Amino acid sequence: MDFELTEELLAARDLARDFAEKEIAPNAAKDDKERTFRRDLVTKMGELGFYGSVIPESYGGNGLG
């Protein structure tokens, strides 16, 4: 069995990491303290394709999972 990540999965991982570091982490403590729900982050995550990662391409996802 091969457990190595494909180039596509490595790119998705890096995208998610960069997004978390730049968009989520800077305000995470404040958002938690104020119990803020950041709809803008949810929208951006959708635009980046995070929600379609486990859905096959034939059904409109990006087929990563």
Instruction: Give CATH for domain 7-59.
Output: 1.10.540.10
Structure tokens at 33: 């303290």
pLDDT at position 60: 85
pLDDT at position 34: 98
pLDDT at position 31: 97
pTM, whole model, 2 decimals?
0.81
8: left (phi over 0), alpha (psi -120 to 50) or beta: alpha
Q: From CA 12, how far away is CA 19, in angstroms rounded?
A: 10
